[in-house]
Amino acid sequence: VSAKHALCAEVRLYNHLFVKENPDDVPQGVDWKSNLNPNSLEVLKA
């Protein structure tokens, strides 16, 4: 596709939601949310 005919696009790359296999595998007193993967979603725009 030529640059003249190209369209803007957004691509969402999904990865594992949790950094551990068992999301409840946390020390006592720590919330399961501490196992959330901050890189589980990457949005690319072109």
CATH of the domain at 32: 2.40.240.10
Side-chain-side CA neighbours of residue 46 (13 Å): 5
What pLDDT, on the 0 to 100 scale, is given for residue 44? 98
Q: Answer whether residue 46 shows pLDDT above 90.
A: no
What pLDDT, on the 0 to 100 scale, is given for residue 30? 93
What pLDDT, on the 0 to 100 scale, is given for residue 13? 98
3-45 pLDDT, tens digit each: 999 999 999 999 999 999 998 889 999 999 999 999 999 999 9
How many structural domains comprise the chain? 1
What pLDDT, on the 0 to 100 scale, is given for residue 1? 84
Domain interval for residue 27: 3-45
* DSSP 8-state code for residue 30: -
